[in-house]
Amino acid sequence: MIDLKTLTIKKAHNSLMKGEYSAVDLAQAYLDVIKAKNKELNAYIEVYSDVLEQAQRADEKIKAGTATMLTGIPLAIKDNILLKGKIASASSKILSNYQASYDATVITKLKEAGVVFLGRTNMDDAAMGSSTETSFYGTTRNPHDQSRVPGGSSGGSAAAVAANIALAALGSDTGGSIRQPASFCGLVGLKPTYGSVSRHGLIAMASSLDVIGPITKTVEDAQIIFDCIKGRDSMDSTSFDLPAAQTKNKKLVIGVPRAFTESEGIDASVVKNFKESLEALKKLGHEIRDITLPNISYSLAVYYILMPAEASTNLARFDGVKYGFYKAGKNLLEDYQFSRGEGFGREVRRRILLGAYVLSSGYYDAYYNKAIAVREVITNDFAEAFKGVDVIVTPTTPTPAFKIGEKFSDPLSMYLADIFTVSANIASIPAISVPSGFSEVDGRKLPLGLQFMARSGGEKELFEISKSFRSE
């Protein structure tokens, strides 16, 4: 029997190479657990019918001696990443019948590596949310406490890995949508440098902020997947090849924006865990240095101007005419109103309206242009800080996972859950969340996460410090 609980990509690869079990055996083991667990968790929207066929092809690659580290590895895919011939709905009613006509670039790369795709995972409607409660397919539950959210918008991906119904998963991160659910579910979540991973085939939310990245059990697994999916793509003009990483001393200088990390509204257990994590990093020989990021507190405001503006533009194409949900009205205008009005959920409609407002005549300069200017200031603040430190550390989230329904009717409270994560997207820098301990709430141990950020292209430093902290 395969022990899925302790399985990592490297362990699975070694076992597959030794012939201890086949890729078909491994895939079947996951299918069995999915059948037993997914109904109560709602992590998967769809389990693919050809999983065992994919696994057979992986076994052929292994027998032929052409296997990679990822050959035969079962992965879950967030529902906004296109896989040819499969539904990709972004968990939105308006795209519920959309079948992808091509593979996302990350999927092409993973297929070439021999990955087995288990299915598509639940997410917030059009990736708009921090709890996976806005999904057209219903709420996903946190495996650590099913009365709580798994985070969002990549909540289904995180829940699948945490529940051992996927070995690893792909998510997307616009303002924390990989890192926050990773933190809530006790996992590793990597948001790569903007442009280091192609966005071709990702259903766009905010094009200047969106990044695809892995959710895994270990830092090493995140690095393995990142190394496979990274690189320039001719189909994405914003993509590029990362420069070769420079060899550095294992002892790093870690910057702490203390005024920001100790501000009001942060749960006491998070503050306590953060201080303990800093002490652990000191004991490992790393230098802790207080830094100032003068304008980081404006990140959330900038994000909630730029993201809705870009989202309202990107989602304008979904009108029920060519594909997706359609509801007829008396005329073309009513067709458009009814299709979009019913096709998008409440949170999506709210953000479309907000985005249209900040882009409208008379408000464009007052809001959108000002946000663009402040974004540049924040980016420069980070660049200045990285002149003196290798990485910057914060908590990943201000609280542990919250109850289902707790913040659903209070959008401002929900938005504040992103306070520590949005700045990395604003500044286009890489960030990673790693498990840092637990907070005991109502007799349950809820995971907490520690976030490391590095300069643009600094994934190597992130992996180094994270492996050091996690003792990998």
Residue 208: CB partners within 8 Å, gap ≥ 6? 194, 306, 310
- Residue 249's pLDDT is 66
Residue 78: active-site member: yes
Phi, psi of 215 (to 5 degrees): -120, 120
**Residue 120: helix, strand or coil by DSSP?**
strand
**Spatial CA neighbour of 145 closest among 45, 6, 41:** 41
Among 22, 92, 135, 153, which one carries the catalytic annotation? Answer: 153
Closest CA to 76 of 15, 31, 37: 31
Domain ranges of the chain: 1-472
The rounded distance, in Å, linking the Cα atoms of 58 and 67 is 8
**What does the pLDDT read at residue 247?**
59
Place of tokens 């079947």: 28
Q: How many CB atoms lie within 10 A of CB 232?
A: 14
Q: Could you say which of 91, 92, 177, 468 is catalytic? A: 177
List the catalytic residue out of 78, 86, 191, 230: 78
Q: Which CATH superfamily is domain 1-472 in?
A: Amidase signature (AS) domain (3.90.1300.10)
Residue 190 and residue 183 in contact, taking contact as beta carbons nearer than 8 Å: no
Outline where DSSP puts E strands in 20-138.
Answer: 44-47, 74-78, 116-121
According to DSSP H, which parts of 131-190 are helical?
155-162, 179-184
Under 8 Å between Cβ of 153 and 172: yes
Contact 311, 351 (CB under 8 A): yes
Please give the pLDDT value at position 332. Answer: 87
Catalytic residue at 191?
A: no
Alpha-carbon gap, residue 148 to 123, rounded angstroms: 15
First-to-last alpha carbon distance for the chain, in angstroms, is 25
**pLDDT value at position 204?**
97
In this predicted structure, what is the pLDDT of residue 111?
98
* pLDDT values of the chain reduced to their tens digit, one per residue, 472 residues: 899 999 999 999 999 999 999 999 999 999 999 999 999 999 999 999 999 999 999 999 999 999 999 999 999 999 999 999 999 999 999 999 999 999 999 999 999 999 999 999 999 999 999 999 999 999 999 999 999 999 999 999 999 999 999 999 999 999 999 999 999 999 999 999 999 999 999 999 999 999 999 999 999 999 999 999 999 999 999 999 998 876 566 799 999 999 898 877 899 999 999 999 999 999 999 999 999 999 999 999 999 999 999 999 999 999 888 778 999 999 988 998 899 999 999 999 999 999 999 999 889 999 999 999 999 999 999 999 999 999 999 999 999 999 999 999 888 889 989 999 999 999 999 999 999 999 999 899 999 999 999 999 999 999 999 999 999 9
Contact partners, residue 63, CB within 8 Å, separation at least 6: none
pLDDT for position 176: 98
CA 169 from chain centre, in angstroms, equals 9
